[in-house]
Structure 1
């Protein structure tokens, strides 16, 4: 009987929405635009690409099915429109879209022009309407005709230098015989030529200097295309000249540029200057960056041809300096020779120091606690835009349901410090290589001290890593040295007797001994998403690839073998009397976002990982092991609540970890209203161990069984997208539970129980 209230509630919501007339606010004699379709007689014409040319679209739909915003708007009353609840419904809902004949006519014209610009010069668009009661359905039928193809391509370039540059780069041309006469391709070719010439000195060249003329071949669908280069005209004398090439005359730096000032060099206030590598540096009162940092960040070189790519590299290089708030590269023509450019890099200083405080509430399986942290940041520590961070953290938690222990409190103290240099630091490396790679170098140390009723543990680590970007969207990271040291000052007798003695649990025993991890790693990320403006992503399909590999202990193991070092009682080599871990770990993930329309999209993700212990270790250290379940995994299970394999768990979170991981996720995302986004998702995955462990029965990966141990869940998500961050609420239900081999328990999707099968997740950011 407990199911009936929820079923009745769902039925009530459906009846409310069904009873709301979608035409409640549609005036008499007018129509609600209920549906818009685009059809074409050519498969090559994708209707999705033509959707932006529609001037009037129907009311938006949740998940491309339900016009919920319209339903919500129609919940408002007509008798008392100024009452607060009516205003509220109208504010969060969408008013009905009233069919407009003039907008339909504009859409018809825009579609016809768009298809003609794709090469179908004889294309026509018919508009059909079908009305019923106060609703209308609109259809645009495209009759494209045959496309016009380019037969011959001629280039009329009356400028010997430009003709030579384009001839050398002719293989990159987008114009090919046999291509459709596509206006977008023609325009892209103009932009390509501008990019090419702007990198070889043509500072003032723009695409309006390039035009096309097309002659149709009689009684055919073929066209002879001519690309024309227009000459340069002097503004003063109106004389026709060849296009001038510009060179960099000198490069200077103005370090105290005020954003409220004009970028006119003469109006900028400075009171001192110096020269470094023949480059003037102007400043006011005090120079806050070392001259070498400024000159190395500039890709502009005196005496060389103007190069737009060098300008962009200069922006990118200075953008990596945290000591700067704003950068602008200003060019001024030389008074005696207008083809010589004086380049000035205008820099605005950022605030050097900042302090922040954090206070958090914690809830670990019902145990409440609090944490506080204070952080200090200096963005220009050694006048080279080095970013220095120090963070101190403390936490306290009252532990319940832990019988047999005197102390019932958990205390944690932590400190970390790191410094980032915005340049590549390594001995015996040339300056040219450092400039070319443009990597940042980071050094860091961390310390964490945990005091629990069962034990006390100290974890100390340090790292030396490099980060850089090669192209837009590509990120690289090398962890040259990553050291982790685990030290157990004390372990209670009860914890030893219950978990560690008697070799009952090899994983627990391994992870509660002093341990050293000395590793290296490489990580690569590529994001195909295109960005415009202030980081807003355009409405295009995109994908992300992540790859990482790390290893530990190999060098130490080789040295131990060469020196015939002694082993401890567990058969492990040691460094300074501390056993060290040895393993190889690799991770790969792929995420794809497929845009359905401006409000809806599909998101797909697959992630795999494997960590293999060998040599000096029989187990992967806990910090490097995989777990499943939680907000970014299979969301029908709580965090660390799934696997490995068919293992049901024994209440010890260490045993619910593994060496192999698989995650597959599919989400349908939709914009609801205001900042709210919704999602329907299906997740699948699990973790497994490479070896068989007595305390993890059913957890070992076996090729003839693993596919039957893949867990599946489904659910709904609500996201608050505030542009700079996303707050996410996800509720997942188990669909297939690998803990059971058969029966109702294995397939909870058939017989769901909310208390048993539901998991709620709160997170920041999208899951993938």
Structure 2
């Protein structure tokens, strides 16, 4: 067993060391490496790697050619099942093809010229490595780029010329080409798309980019280009005609369902239609209409057609709508395991997608759970029982005063009302939670931004019964003065407001949230002199209310090295401050560390705060929480085969308290020493990617443990102990 790590580490090397060249024909070479390089720093050679037609064999984590090694393990006898399987799972060697190399040179040269390097050229270098391997280098010589010295417009349609010359108003034409900018094919095509989109949004239903041409003129030995944009007439024969400008005269709605009925109210259909009768045709309004209808829960698909009246510039619009089945019922069983206590849970969910015939989504969910608790002495009931009901009614629009009808109509928004009740019966206590909320969500797809506003969020926590044993041993014990513990077993009222923003463009993802609670009630308390309890807290209906402010943010950046390898970088920050009527944050608002989405060398809620080790060295779910959180993550992701992906990661972070609590020694954040309490973990993971969901298996090891008794435990990276430092995580979805 002591040599197991040697076996694990040498296996990939043995696979790579197999005779990969045995399947390479005599006189040919295995394409070992491909590089694109340039001495000109103004050109990023990595952006042109995709123009190389032949790439080498794929590498796991950009290092190990395991698929090629697997293929090389196969024998030549294709009648044997093992050989066929190894070839199917593995990857055949990539044999260097000189024809593909010459085509790659041409493609690279063309790409550089399209970028404005009109005198660019590419050189091919090959280096033979060993007997049957070759390294290929494409060396780029771009030269000096060409630039636009002047830009002139030749608009052969007087109405369009006048429209483009308008320099005032919201919809004036904004050119993308400017004097001094780089002369590139991409820039010219972007201007063609820009002008085409502008005209199609101003009534020119039949206009397309082929009506736009460019001519360029440059002096000898000069890299300055005089550019002219030509907009051709609708017809370029002996009698040229101006481009027709169309008006939408009528809008009609039809059902695409078998029963022929429109199941949505007329006003809902009108609000989702982003153009009006007697208005100019607009392709942007057409796309916005598709977007609005697609966000309606009741709508299955939408088909919009424009019919041109003969010999006119008038369009009749027909919108055909097919609706989903209004009602769905789903049942979801669950298995639970809390600290070794096994249980089961189930939820029954009913949805109606068209509750008021306005595509309102009504969701009602019933949930129940049971868990057999073992090892708990001194209590009558040994089991945990939970049941609850929650409902949500979502409207596909803003329901709010003081907003203009135009803004309400153009926004991709939802308004949501939620109500919930949850009952938990444990051997130690009974807890009841009532909740209600009103919130808004809206999106700006063009800017990849989504917003959320919690206008009002109410939570009432009621503790109808606490076991006398639990009170004696934990809450009222003279040896236990745990303020955090006691606070979480008192009746509490939380009234909060909050807002959130998410941004995601595929490479960068940002999430930020802010919320405050108790400020309105605190103002009313001062005005109406609310009563105080024995702890000096102001109360509403004899219930203390929470008061705090909380802010957290996450940022993720993806660096794609190629189609198979990606580096994900993530940072998460959070801080919450109880004040006024509270000295401790409500438990559900406190931060925790460890788990599948945090520092993966620790199990969930087992890290921190600071250097706190838990109660007597054991996990303490109440006290291992904090007011501040830091997460730093690096994860290298690679495609393996089939639907299986691999990952290697390094995580760092912890939580801290902002106040000093006697029951959490070493947990307070201190600017001069917090960095010494940052935990570090490393590990590997496997992901099963089924497109619509991802099953994730992560295996983490502690590297630096801030809650240590010995130096070996502190620097676990140098003194690993599998039983002490290893943690396994199973989760659905990516960690960040």
Q: TM-score range by the shorter chain?
A: over 0.9
Work out whether 1:506 is the aligned partner of 2:474: no
Question: Which residue of 445, 453, 456 corresponds with 1:478?
Answer: 453
Work out whether 1:110 is the aligned partner of 2:75: no
> Residue 67 of structure 2 corresponds to which residue in structure 1?
69
How much does 1:246 deviate?
1.1
> Residue 365 of structure 1 corresponds to which residue in structure 2?
339
Work out whether 1:100 is the aligned partner of 2:97: yes
> Residue 606 of structure 1 corresponds to which residue in structure 2?
571
SS of the residue corresponding to residue 601 of structure 1 reads: strand
Q: Which sections of structure 1, spanning at least 5 residues, go unmatched?
A: 259-283, 530-541
Contact 1:415 1:448 in 2 (8 A): yes
SS of the residue corresponding to residue 469 of structure 2 reads: helix
Once the two structures are superposed, residues 401-438 of structure 1 have per-residue CA deviations (whole angstroms, 9 ceiling, x without a partner) of 22332322111112111111111113565534422434
Contact 2:610 2:656 in 1 (8 A): yes
Q: How many angstroms apart in 2 are the aligned matches of 1:148 and 1:18?
A: 47
> After the TM superposition, which of the residue ranges 547-556 and 88-97 deviates more from structure 2?
88-97
Q: How many angstroms apart in 1 are the aligned matches of 2:571 and 2:408?
A: 36
> After the TM superposition, which of the residue ranges 312-321 and 737-746 deviates more from structure 2?
737-746
Q: How many angstroms apart in 1 are the aligned matches of 2:403 and 2:411?
A: 11
> Residue 666 of structure 2 corresponds to which residue in structure 1?
698
> Residue 307 of structure 1 corresponds to which residue in structure 2?
282
Contact 1:588 1:609 in 2 (8 A): yes
Q: How does 1:500-539 map to 2 (within 5 A)?
A: 500-501=475-476, 502=478, 504-529=481-506
Once the two structures are superposed, residues 209-239 of structure 1 have per-residue CA deviations (whole angstroms, 9 ceiling, x without a partner) of 11111122023233222211111129xx984
Question: Which residue of 735, 738, 741 corresponds with 2:703?
Answer: 735
Q: How many angstroms apart in 2 are the aligned matches of 1:162 and 1:42?
A: 43
> Residue 534 of structure 1 corresponds to which residue in structure 2?
none
Question: Which residue of 587, 590, 596 corresponds with 1:622?
Answer: 587
Q: How many angstroms apart in 1 are the aligned matches of 2:99 and 2:378?
A: 80
Q: How does 1:422-501 map to 2 (within 5 A)?
A: 422-427=396-401, 431-472=405-446, 473-501=448-476
> Residue 155 of structure 1 corresponds to which residue in structure 2?
153
> Residue 320 of structure 1 corresponds to which residue in structure 2?
295
SS of the residue corresponding to residue 435 of structure 1 reads: helix
> After the TM superposition, which of the residue ranges 247-256 and 639-648 deviates more from structure 2?
247-256
Contact 1:634 1:712 in 2 (8 A): yes
Question: Which residue of 636, 639, 653 corresponds with 2:601?
Answer: 636
Q: How many angstroms apart in 1 are the aligned matches of 2:254 and 2:27?
A: 66
Once the two structures are superposed, residues 316-346 of structure 1 have per-residue CA deviations (whole angstroms, 9 ceiling, x without a partner) of 1111111111012211112351x11111112
Question: Which residue of 90, 99, 104 corresponds with 2:87?
Answer: 90
Q: How many angstroms apart in 2 are the aligned matches of 1:165 and 1:624?
A: 56
SS of the residue corresponding to residue 744 of structure 1 reads: helix
Q: How many angstroms apart in 2 are the aligned matches of 1:101 and 1:336?
A: 58
Work out whether 1:123 is the aligned partner of 2:97: no
Q: How many angstroms apart in 1 are the aligned matches of 2:395 and 2:419?
A: 15
Q: How many angstroms apart in 2 are the aligned matches of 1:328 and 1:67?
A: 49
SS of the residue corresponding to residue 52 of structure 1 reads: helix
Q: How many angstroms apart in 1 are the aligned matches of 2:208 and 2:274?
A: 23
How much does 1:285 deviate?
4.7
How much does 1:741 deviate?
8.3
Work out whether 1:574 is the aligned partner of 2:539: yes
> Residue 181 of structure 2 corresponds to which residue in structure 1?
179
C-alpha distance 343-41 of structure 1, shift in aligned 2 (>3 A): same
Q: How many angstroms apart in 2 are the aligned matches of 1:428 and 1:701?
A: 44
Contact 1:257 1:346 in 2 (8 A): no
Once the two structures are superposed, residues 231-275 of structure 1 have per-residue CA deviations (whole angstroms, 9 ceiling, x without a partner) of 1129xx9842111111111111112268xxxxxxxxxxxxxxxxx
> Residue 286 of structure 1 corresponds to which residue in structure 2?
261
Work out whether 1:657 is the aligned partner of 2:634: no
> Residue 212 of structure 2 corresponds to which residue in structure 1?
210
Q: How many angstroms apart in 2 are the aligned matches of 1:124 and 1:361?
A: 63
Q: How high is the TM-score relative to the length of structure 1?
A: 0.92
Contact 1:524 1:548 in 2 (8 A): yes
> Residue 686 of structure 2 corresponds to which residue in structure 1?
718
How much does 1:599 deviate?
1.0
C-alpha distance 616-173 of structure 1, shift in aligned 2 (>3 A): same
Q: How many angstroms apart in 2 are the aligned matches of 1:340 and 1:157?
A: 24
Contact 2:157 2:232 in 1 (8 A): no
> Residue 636 of structure 2 corresponds to which residue in structure 1?
668
> Residue 587 of structure 1 corresponds to which residue in structure 2?
552
SS of the residue corresponding to residue 173 of structure 1 reads: coil
Contact 1:217 1:224 in 2 (8 A): no
Once the two structures are superposed, residues 506-549 of structure 1 have per-residue CA deviations (whole angstroms, 9 ceiling, x without a partner) of 001011011111111101111122xxxxxxxxxxxx10111111
Once the two structures are superposed, residues 158-209 of structure 1 have per-residue CA deviations (whole angstroms, 9 ceiling, x without a partner) of 2223223333469832222233321111111111111111111111111111
> Residue 256 of structure 1 corresponds to which residue in structure 2?
256
How much does 1:69 deviate?
1.0
Q: How many angstroms apart in 2 are the aligned matches of 1:18 and 1:322?
A: 52
Q: How does 1:354-433 map to 2 (within 5 A)?
A: 354-427=328-401, 431-433=405-407
SS of the residue corresponding to residue 357 of structure 1 reads: strand
Q: How many angstroms apart in 2 are the aligned matches of 1:238 and 1:409?
A: 91
> After the TM superposition, which of the residue ranges 652-661 and 447-456 deviates more from structure 2?
447-456
Q: What is the aligned residue count?
A: 725
How much does 1:371 deviate?
1.1
C-alpha distance 427-38 of structure 1, shift in aligned 2 (>3 A): closer
Q: Which sections of structure 2, spanning at least 5 residues, go unmatched?
A: none
Contact 1:41 1:144 in 2 (8 A): no
Q: How many angstroms apart in 1 are the aligned matches of 2:238 and 2:69?
A: 64
Q: How many angstroms apart in 2 are the aligned matches of 1:42 and 1:702?
A: 48
Q: How many angstroms apart in 2 are the aligned matches of 1:745 and 1:711?
A: 12
SS of the residue corresponding to residue 561 of structure 1 reads: helix
Q: How many angstroms apart in 1 are the aligned matches of 2:9 and 2:369?
A: 46
Q: How many angstroms apart in 2 are the aligned matches of 1:553 and 1:756?
A: 43
